[in-house]
Amino acid sequence: MKDVTLTGPFPFSAIVGQEDMKLAMILTAIDPGIGGVLVFGDRGTGKSTAVRGLAALLPPIHAVAGCPVNSAHLGEIPDWAQVNDTAIIEKPTPVIDLPLGATEDRVVGALDIEKALTRGEKAFEPGLLARANRGYLYIDEVNLLEDHLVDLLLDVAQSGRNVVEREGLSIRHAAHFVLVGSGNPEEGELRPQLLDRFGLSVDVTSPKDIDTRIEVIRRRDSYDRDPGGFLTEWRPADLALRAQVVAARDHLGQVAAGEPILRDCAALCLALGADGLRGELTLLRAARALAAFDQDLTVTRDHLRRVAASALRHRLRRDPLDEAGSTTRVTRIVEEVLA
């Protein structure tokens, strides 16, 4: 390992509490195929801190220096890109922010107006999706994003390809990223069709317990005052977690899920009345990633139990009078089915 970095975002392992959110993010880091994570909750609960911390925690990626889509090899560079610097360099896992109100042009990329007007060239200007390839795309206040943009993002996230057909351009490039959306449900909700396409969803609340709150503030304060010292202090914990994630990625292929587990998944989704089959698939994938994280060789009911709420809570039919929230419903059904 190289010398210890003295600047960086708040360390992931130093985040106090919020276990659900941290676990969901780690699972998508192990298996990006799980799909995005939706984090709904109060302001100032460390949602964006967690995303940034996670990306810094993950092992750096190797990419072609001048490539706009972070290609791993020269062969993967899309033909429209003019790459001058072909050295393979190590760079941190990209985390791209998608600001609210971003235009479609900025997101998917568009005709490069500068080149078109000044040089008369038809060139493609890559958008945020290109930069997010092989990393994370973070959208704060996803529930306030325009619907057609959310549609588009989820579609690209699922297919892993961004296709641009406009203004005489016909461009496609790889766009494999994990979508992390956050928002405050009091300000608007997502359509059920969109909710369903996020892999995992977690509710975060600010900690109710005074001592936890004090600990959060104490850590944040010492980070703000002496980032270098704080990062050095938490470096071992972050490295241990990174090693665990890397081991889990290698291990993922060997985790077996037996017939009874598949039956359990189906039974859970049936009992909850979750529409479609995406619930079962995500539940299984998340449970498998969790088993890999625990270095287990088989998926057990315990794994299912731990991921069920995150994988299924946003797929239930909404009941306008249910004040208890869907987490409680999922937990109750899980207890019944897996009794």
Partner 1 sequence: MTDSQERWQRVNLALACFALDPAALGGIWLRARVGPVRDRVQKGVEIALQGQILRRLHPGIGDDALFGGIDLAATLAQGHVVRTRGILDENAVLLMPMAERVKAALAARLAGALDAGKGLALIAYDEGAEPEERLPQALADRLAIHLDLADQGLSDAPELALDQSALAAARLLLPHVTVPDHAICDVATVAARLGIRSLRAPLQALALARASAALMGETCVDHADLTLAVELVLAPRATQLPQEEQEAQEAPPDPPHPEEPEKAHEAQDQDQIDLPPLEMLIEAAKAILPPDLLARLQAGRAARQAPAANGSGAVKKGNRRGRPLPARPGRIGSEARVDLVATLRAAAPWQPMRRKATGKTDQLHIRMSDIRLRQFAETSDRAIIFVVDASGSAALARLGEAKGAIELLLGEAYARRDHVALIAFRGDGADVLLPPTRSLVQTKRRLVQLAGGGGTPLAAGLKAGLELALTAQGKGMTASVAILTDGRANVDLAGIANRTQAAADATAMARAIRARAIPALVIDTGIRPTQALASIASDLGAPYLALPRADARSLSAAVDASLNLA
Task: Find the shortest distance in angstroms from Cβ 31 to partner 1.
Answer: 27
How far apart (Å, rounded) are the C-alpha atoms in residues 114 and 16? 47
211 binds partner 1 (CB under 8 A): yes
Q: Which of 210, 253, 259, 339 binds partner 1 (CB under 8 A)?
A: 210
Neighbour-count burial of 223, counting CB atoms closer than 10 A to its CB (0-12 exposed, 13-18 middle, 19+ buried) = buried
> Per-residue x/- marks for partner 1, 130-149, CB under 8 A?
----------xx-xxxxxx-
Residues 27-86 interacting with partner 1 (rule: CB under 8 A): 42-46, 48
Instruction: Confirm if 332 and 339 have CB atoms less than 8 A apart.
Output: no
Q: Select the span of 58-66, 93-101, 174-182, 308-316 touching partner 1 (CB under 8 A).
A: 93-101
Q: Which of 73, 91, 172, 218 binds partner 1 (CB under 8 A)?
A: 218
Residues 168-187 interacting with partner 1 (rule: CB under 8 A): 184, 186-187
Based on CB atoms, which residue is closest to partner 1, 221 or 250? 221
Based on CB atoms, which residue is closest to partner 1, 44 or 253? 44
- Which three-class secondary structure string do you get for the chain? CCCCCCCCCCCHHHCCCCHHHHHHHHHHHHCHHHCCEEEEECCCCCHHHHHHHHHHHCCCEEEECCCCCCCCCHHHCCCCCCCCCCCEEEECCCEEECCCCCCHHHHHEEECHHHHHHCCCCCEEECHHHHCCCEEEEECCHHHCCHHHHHHHHHHHHHCEEEEEECCEEEEEECCEEEEEEECHHHCCCCHHHHCCCCEEEEECCCCCHHHHHHHHHHHHHHHHCHHHHHHHHHHHHHHHHHHHHHHHHHHHHCECCHHHHHHHHHHHHHHCCCCCHHHHHHHHHHHHHHHHCCCCECCHHHHHHHHHHHHHHHCCCCCCCCCCHHHHHHHHHHHHCC
Size of the site for partner 1 (CB under 8 A): 58
Q: Which of 90, 121, 155, 189 binds partner 1 (CB under 8 A)?
A: 189
Task: Find the shortest distance in angstroms from Cβ 318 to partner 1.
Answer: 8
190 binds partner 1 (CB under 8 A): yes
Among 242, 278, 301, 305, the one annotated catalytic: 278
1 binds partner 1 (CB under 8 A): no
105 binds partner 1 (CB under 8 A): yes
278 part of the active site? yes
Task: Find the shortest distance in angstroms from Cβ 101 to partner 1.
Answer: 3
125 binds partner 1 (CB under 8 A): no
Q: Select the span of 69-77, 170-178, 215-223, 307-315 touching partner 1 (CB under 8 A).
A: 215-223
Binding site for partner 1 (CB under 8 A): 42-46, 48, 97, 99-101, 103-106, 110-111, 113-114, 116-118, 120, 140-141, 143-148, 167, 184, 186-193, 205-206, 208-218, 220-221, 224, 320-321
Active site residues: 278
